[in-house]
């Protein structure tokens, strides 16, 4: 994904405002946050308007969960890079998230260390999984 001459753009999708603030603080040195949404349906609507390079998506959100939202997005042949973020460190959740075509999976407990490297990796087309799921 080419972002020559500009910072890559990102939409943050999480149902907690305090998480948005944390993720924004972690990403803004290298990314331009172009949208904040609080559920999967709002994410799908925002992607069409904002065409981000990357989406940061919580696995569990109201209205439409992150996994289902990304499945719908990828079914439309979207090439947007995806990093899932979750408090759930289970192997099954990680498997479901990565099976959507996403390349990134970050545990919220590891976000301070892993979020920026995960975002950078997925934009290069590389997989990034933080921590060791149980």
- Does 41 map to a domain? yes
At 66, list the tokens.
């992150």
**CA-to-CA distance for 118 and 7, rounded, in angstroms?**
16
Judge whether 47 and 9 are in contact, CB under 8 Å: no
Q: Determine the average pLDDT of the residues in 22-43.
A: 97
Q: Read off the tokens for 46.
A: 């925002």
Any domain includes 4: no
Write down the pLDDT at residue 25.
97
Asked if residue 43 belongs to a domain, the reply is: yes
User: Phi, psi at residue 115, to the nearest 5°?
Assistant: -65, -50
Identify the CATH number of the domain in which residue 66 sits.
3.40.50.2300
The pair of three-digit structure tokens given for residue 27, joined into one six-digit string: 């990403």
User: CB within 8 A of 66, min separation 6: which ones?
Assistant: 13, 40, 43, 57, 58, 59, 60, 84, 86, 97
Report yes or no on 3 lying in a domain: no
Q: How many domains does the chain have?
A: 1
Give the model's confidence band at 14: pLDDT under 50 very low, under 70 low, under 90 confident, else very high. Answer: very high
Task: Extract the tokens encoding 92.
Answer: 């099954």
Range of the structural domain that residue 61 is part of: 9-129
Instruction: Say whether pLDDT at 91 is over 60.
Output: yes
pLDDT in tens, 94-134: 999 999 999 999 999 999 999 999 999 999 999 999 975 44
Structural domain contains residue 134: no
Which tens digits make up the pLDDT trace of 56-72?
999 999 999 999 999 99
State phi, psi for 123 to the nearest 5 degrees.
-70, -25
Q: What is the pTM of this model?
A: 0.92
Element (H, E) at 50: helix 40-50
């Amino acid at each position: 994904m080419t972002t020559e001459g500009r910072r890559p753009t990102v939409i943050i999708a999480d149902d907690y405002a305090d998480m948005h603030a944390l993720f924004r603080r972690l990403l803004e040195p290298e990314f331009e946050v172009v949208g904040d949404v609080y559920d999967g349906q709002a994410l799908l609507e925002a992607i069409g308007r904002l065409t981000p390079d990357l989406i940061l998506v919580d696995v569990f959100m109201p209205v439409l969960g992150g996994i289902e939202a990304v499945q719908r997005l990828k079914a439309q042949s979207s090439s947007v890079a995806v990093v899932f973020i979750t408090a759930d460190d289970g192997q099954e959740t990680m498997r479901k998230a990565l099976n959507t075509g996403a390349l990134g999976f970050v545990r919220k407990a590891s976000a301070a260390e892993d979020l920026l490297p995960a975002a950078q990796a997925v934009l290069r087309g590389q997989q990034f999984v933080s921590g060791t799921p149980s």
